[in-house]
Each structure stands twice: as C-alpha cells, then as structure tokens.
Amino acid sequence: MPTTDAAGSRAPGTAAPAERCPGCRSALVVHERFPTWCPSCEWNLLPPEPAAEHRTPRQQRRAERAERREEALRRDVRARSEQVFKLVSEGGSDLQDGTTAAAYALAGVVHLVSLTLLLLGLGLVAGLLLPGWPGRIVGVILLAVAFQLRPRLGRPARDGVLTRAAAPTLYELVDRICEAVGAPKVDSIAVDGEWNASFGVLGLRRHRQLTIGMPLWTVLSPQQRVALLAHEVGHCVNGDHRRGLWTGSALNTLVEWYRLTVPDRTRLQEGPVGLIVTIAYALANRVLWVLNRAVRRLVLLMNRLWLRSGQAAEYRADLLSVRLTSVADTRGMLTALLHRPTFETVLHRQRTVPRRRPAAGRPAAPDLWQSLAEAVRTVPPLETERRLRVAGRLDSAVDSSHPPTHLRLRMLTAVPAEQHRHPVVLDSGRSALVEAELAGRRERIAVDLL
Ligand SMILES: [Zn+2]
Ligand SMILES: [Zn+2]
C-alpha cells in the first residue's frame, strides 16, 4: 500500500505497479517526489497525523476538545468565505456593512483601555489618586503596561532596501503599476528572503514600503511578477481597512494583550517553593488564563468582523492584477504561492548536502535560485491540485485575512473581464535590467538563507 512518501522505497527504474485507490478503486498516479493521493475521493489528501506522544486520558480528552473547537472555527470561516465569494462575484458593492462599523468600534474600545491605563498610571505616579509609595509603585507598573500596549504603527525595514538610484528600472516599473491602478508612488522597495510579497504603510510618517520576497520572485515569469506587484500596490486602492491607522494599531495592541496574558507554566517546575508562593502563583496563573481566553476571543471577533471587507479587498487586488496583466498571468502568480513546500524542500536539501567549494570568481549562491526555479517548474499538476485542496481544507481560522486560494482562482474567471486597456508589459530587455539590479540582493539573500 502506498504511503505518503511511497516513492523513496522503490528502486529507481522499476515500473510502478498499477496501484488502485483503497477508497474508490480508481487508478492512482504515483509520482516519485510527492505523496500519492486520490483526486476522486481525496484518499490520503492530508498526510497521516504523527502518532501523539503518550497522553493521559485527561490530556487526550482536552486535545480532542481543542481539535473539535478548531474544526468548528474552520467550518465557520469556510462558510463565511464562500458567502463573501458569492457577494463579490455577483458584483455586490455593499460590502461596507455593519461589521466594518463594529470593527471600528471594537478598535476604539481597545484604544480606550490603553488610554485609561496610561492616565491611571500617570495619576498614581503623580500621587493624585492615592497618596504614599504603594500607589506610586502601582502607577509605575501601570505605565509599564501602557507602554507595552502603545499603538504600534510599524517601522519600515532598513535592511535589504533598494534605493531609487540602485534600482531605477524596478522603481520605474512599480511607478507605472501604481499609476495604472491609481495608487500613490511607493517610498521604498525592500527585498527579503520570504516566500511572499507585501505592502505596508508604516510609522508616524506613513512610509509606503513594498517588500518583495526573492524566492517567490525567482519562480515567477515577468508578467506574473507584474501581477504580483499589482496585487500588492492594489492594497492602497481596494478599500482595505485592516491596515488603517486606527484599526491596524488596535489589532497589534490586541496581539500584545494576548502575549502579556499567556500564563506561565514553567516556574513551579523549577524547584520547591513555599506554600503561599505556590498558591499565589496558581491563582495568578488562573487569572491570566481567564484574561488570555477573553483576549483570544476578542482577536477572533476582530478577525470575524474583518473577514468580509478584508477578503473582498483581496479579491479586488487580484482583479487589479488581471486588469494589468491577464487571467493566465494572475492565475500563475496565485498558483506559485502554493509552492512554499517546494521552496522549503530545496532549502533543506541545499543546507544538508556537502557544499561544493565555490569556483574562483564564481559565487556559490546561484545554485539555490536555479534549483528552486527548476524544482517549482517540475511540480506536476496533480501535486499542485493536492496543495490547492489541502490549503482549502486547513485554512487557519485565526488568519482568515486572505480568501482560500481556490476561491481566489475561481474569482478570476467568475467576474467578467473588463477591457484590457493598458496592460503593463515587462519586456525581456527591462526584465533583464531589473534582474541585474537585484543581483546583489539575490546573492546576499542566498548566503543568509543557507
Ligand atoms: Zn479514491
Ligand atoms: Zn493581498
């Protein structure tokens, strides 16, 4: 019977025996590098769970309960995602509904709590509310907490930033895309080692930074790169409120609340302590646990309130990509996002094989980028399909900011294409210039990754 890595055990060159799906008896296609699964009945779609370490019955029950809760959440998010898909594909424009207003209000409550803590702390330290030193000590503690909870506006990355002078062709391309989608120009472009790309408006000065992940960029064709950039800068014009000053910083503060209230389970294992300390400790942990649960609920609620407008914004950004390139290019770009596992495999392989000594004058790095491009190019369609379905199945309930990829792909064709007025073309000449401008970063990132 085939297992998840059926291939490894078979001697190279031997023909695969005609394997049949144990679920529905249809013929299976076996591919050496990838798990065998059945597209008809989804047998073996998800790799088998690793055997759990020994658990007491109580731990077992708790784990099962947690798993059920998680699954219920996923189901809920899936149902809502389908709903948003339906609304957007039917041209629903009225997506600024009550939930968006509620999200703003919730953000307001979060900021109000921070402000109250700050004022209380100041009042206590100044001795206005409670005379004497105990009040002042409490005040200092409150100020420290208020400082932790301050609105965080993010900070533009300094590492890996390309200046306009160093990458004129890339900036010119991004400027053209910004103009085509009606967005203001970006202030800086950073290049990092992520399987991703992102856009942020950061800091008090609201610095507009575009970040390009070199690994993802490497496996895209020139027009898919344009589609990727169009999606990212499209976030400025697609009515995405999650990134706003008011709500974005509130969400960051909530995450900070969550971090601050995680109960500490380590202390008591360190050694014998007095009874009173033990009791106080258990009590404090209990209070933290309750707070932590409550904050988790708030984060989930915030995500739930954002889901509709956030996912609709993502679809709009994808449709901007289509407008500037084509359905095929945008589809190619979205599909590439699924291949992070291939990137991780290539990285792992390159890190573990004994490194060949770089020949004199030749950098060791290009190996990584060539292997990566080759590995992604040779992922068979059946494996791409598997990854697509797995993503749909396991989409995290907590980060539902992006619609599942299969829905994003479906949306590309569900909405009647507008006239392609001015598709932005990255011709081979300019593409080569951009690559030359990125060469330095490419090498640096390869060294950092390996
Ligand atoms: Zn089957
Ligand atoms: Zn996006």
Report the separation in Å between the CA atom of 331 and the middle of ligand 2, taken as the mean of its atom positions: 14
On whether both 362 and 219 belong to a single domain, the answer is yes
- 85 occurs within a structural domain: no
Report the separation in Å between the CA atom of 28 and the middle of ligand 1, taken as the mean of its atom positions: 8
- 421 occurs within a structural domain: yes
Burial group, residue 386, by CB count within 10 angstroms (0-12, 13-18, 19+): buried
- E strand or H helix at 191: strand 188-192
> How confident is the model over 34-79, as pLDDT tens digits?
888 888 888 888 877 766 667 788 888 888 888 888 888 888 888 8
- 33 occurs within a structural domain: yes
Nearest Cα neighbor of 74 from 294, 392, 402 is 392
On whether both 38 and 178 belong to a single domain, the answer is no
Give the pLDDT confidence score for residue 79 in this predicted structure. Answer: 85
Would the pLDDT of 425 be above 80? yes
Report the separation in Å between the CA atom of 385 and the middle of ligand 1, taken as the mean of its atom positions: 15
* CA–CA separation, 226 and 174 (whole Å): 8
Angle at 407 between CA 406 and CA 413, to 5 degrees: 100
Please state, rounded to an integer, the average pLDDT across all residues of the chain: 82
Report the separation in Å between the CA atom of 414 and the middle of ligand 1, taken as the mean of its atom positions: 29
- What would the mean pLDDT of 201-210 be, rounded to a whole number? 88
Give the pLDDT confidence score for residue 223 in this predicted structure. Answer: 94
Q: Which residue has the higher pLDDT, 392 or 83?
A: 83
CB 181 within 8 A of CB 230: yes
Give the residue from 30, 47, 64 where a domain finishes: 47
Sheet holding 188-192, edge to edge: 161-162, 188-192, 207-213, 197-202
* CA–CA separation, 14 and 111 (whole Å): 65
- 198 occurs within a structural domain: yes
- E strand or H helix at 197: strand 197-202
> How confident is the model over 244-297, as pLDDT tens digits?
778 878 888 888 888 888 887 665 555 566 788 888 888 888 888 898 899 888
On whether both 226 and 363 belong to a single domain, the answer is yes
Give the pLDDT confidence score for residue 421 in this predicted structure. Answer: 60
Give the pLDDT confidence score for residue 218 in this predicted structure. Answer: 94
Q: Per the structure, how many domains does the chain have?
A: 2
Report the separation in Å between the CA atom of 182 and the middle of ligand 2, taken as the mean of its atom positions: 17
Q: Which ligand is nearest to the CA of 231?
A: 2
Query: What type of residue is 154?
Result: G
Q: Which ligand is nearest to the CA of 44?
A: 1
Report the separation in Å between the CA atom of 232 and the middle of ligand 2, taken as the mean of its atom positions: 6
Burial group, residue 122, by CB count within 10 angstroms (0-12, 13-18, 19+): middle
- 413 occurs within a structural domain: yes
Find the domain containing 365 and state its range.
161-243+319-449
- 54 occurs within a structural domain: no
Looking at the chain, the whole-number percentage of residues with pLDDT higher than 70 is 84
On whether both 219 and 341 belong to a single domain, the answer is yes
- What would the mean pLDDT of 134-153 be, rounded to a whole number? 86
Would the pLDDT of 344 be above 60? yes
Q: Which ligand is nearest to the CA of 24?
A: 1
- 228 occurs within a structural domain: yes
Ion ligand 2 — residues with CB under 5 Å? 314
Buried b (16+ CB within 10 A) or exposed e, 147-171: eebebbbbebbeebbbeeeebebbb
Q: Tell me if residue 209 falls in helix, strand or coil.
A: strand
Give the residue from 27, 47, 67 where a domain finishes: 47
